[in-house]
């Protein structure tokens, strides 16, 4: 059962104002428009929207709280979560190649497979890798027992395979000119080539002034 309080990062006795504040804060943080329509942020945003829709309605919240209470009573709350299996049919793959992952957890009421989002405690997902980061694609399985506030994590790294050296060179060149995710150090998501050009210009200027001082 989905724990909407966990999604919003609030306690079960949170007030209506607490729910609104948490929703506003998280919806701004995870809104797809602010994160280049990244699938992970889009999934997280949908979870937040779903949680707010239930918890902000007093009638829906009462019904949900009762269901959550019944679920928690039947849940093995005193046993920490564990990951029994988390496997991929391939750990080396080409861009666009089909990947199949399987997982099985126990004693976890919140299960996430990143970058995809919430999943069932056990299952299978088939997908294609459209982008690698520095030649790698990272998968993370999070199994959480929200009653114990304990989480276990296991990862799988899939490395990129190229047909030939020419393809790898072309991919590296494309990566240089591709817009990067927005971060604190790169708020505009500028391509790597911009940083390289700026570094080269600064180096040339430094050498120029160094030579000038000695002449």
In this structure, are residues 166 and 128 in contact, taking their beta carbons and an 8 Å threshold? no
Phi-psi sector, 36: left (phi>0), alpha (psi -120 to 50), beta? left
Look at residue 198 in the predicted model and tell me its pLDDT. Answer: 78
Look at residue 68 in the predicted model and tell me its pLDDT. Answer: 83
Bridge-based pairing state of the strands 82-88 and 98-106: antiparallel
Could you say which architecture CATH assigns to the domain 79-161? Sandwich (2.60)
Residue reference for tokens 């861009």: 95
Torsion of CA 112, 113, 116, 122, to 10 degrees: -80
In this structure, are residues 3 and 109 in contact, taking their beta carbons and an 8 Å threshold? yes
DSSP H helix total and E strand total for the chain? 6, 8
CATH fourth-level superfamily of 1-74? DnaJ domain (1.10.287.110)
Look at residue 56 in the predicted model and tell me its pLDDT. Answer: 94
By three-state DSSP, how is residue 125 classified?
strand
* Burial of 74: CB neighbours in 10 Å, binned 0-12, 13-18, 19+: exposed
Look at residue 110 in the predicted model and tell me its pLDDT. Answer: 86
pLDDT < 70 stretches in the chain:
72-77, 163-186, 188-189, 215
Look at residue 197 in the predicted model and tell me its pLDDT. Answer: 81
Look at residue 53 in the predicted model and tell me its pLDDT. Answer: 95
CATH fold match for the domains 1-74 and 79-161: no
Look at residue 141 in the predicted model and tell me its pLDDT. Answer: 96
Look at residue 52 in the predicted model and tell me its pLDDT. Answer: 94
Look at residue 155 in the predicted model and tell me its pLDDT. Answer: 96
Task: Please report, for the chain, the start and end positions of each structural domain, with discontinuous segments joined by +.
Answer: 1-74, 79-161, 165-214
Q: Among 2, 1, 51, which Cα is nearest to 26's?
A: 51
115: preceding bond cis by omega (within 30 degrees): yes
């Amino acid at each position: 059962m989905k724990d909407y309080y966990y999604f919003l990062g609030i306690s079960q006795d949170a007030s209506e104002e607490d729910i609104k504040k948490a929703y506003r804060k998280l919806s701004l943080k995870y809104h797809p428009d602010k994160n280049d329509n990244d699938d992970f942020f889009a999934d997280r945003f949908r979870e937040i929207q779903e949680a707010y829709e239930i918890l902000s309605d007093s009638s829906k919240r009462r019904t949900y709280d009762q269901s959550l209470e019944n679920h928690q009573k039947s849940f093995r709350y005193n046993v920490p979560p564990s990951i029994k299996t988390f496997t991929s049919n391939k750990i080396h793959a080409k861009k666009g190649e089909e990947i199949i992952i399987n997982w099985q957890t126990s004693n976890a009421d919140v299960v996430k497979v990143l970058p995809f989002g919430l999943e069932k405690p056990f299952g299978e997902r088939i997908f294609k890798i459209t982008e690698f980061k520095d030649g790698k694609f990272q998968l993370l399985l999070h199994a959480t027992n929200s009653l114990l506030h304990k989480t276990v994590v296991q990862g799988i790294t899939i490395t990129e395979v190229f047909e030939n050296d020419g393809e790898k060179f072309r991919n590296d060149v494309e990566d240089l000119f591709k817009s990067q995710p927005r971060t604190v150090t790169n708020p505009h998501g500028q391509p790597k080539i911009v940083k390289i050009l700026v570094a080269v210009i600064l180096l040339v200027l430094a050498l120029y002034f160094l030579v000038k001082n000695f002449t």
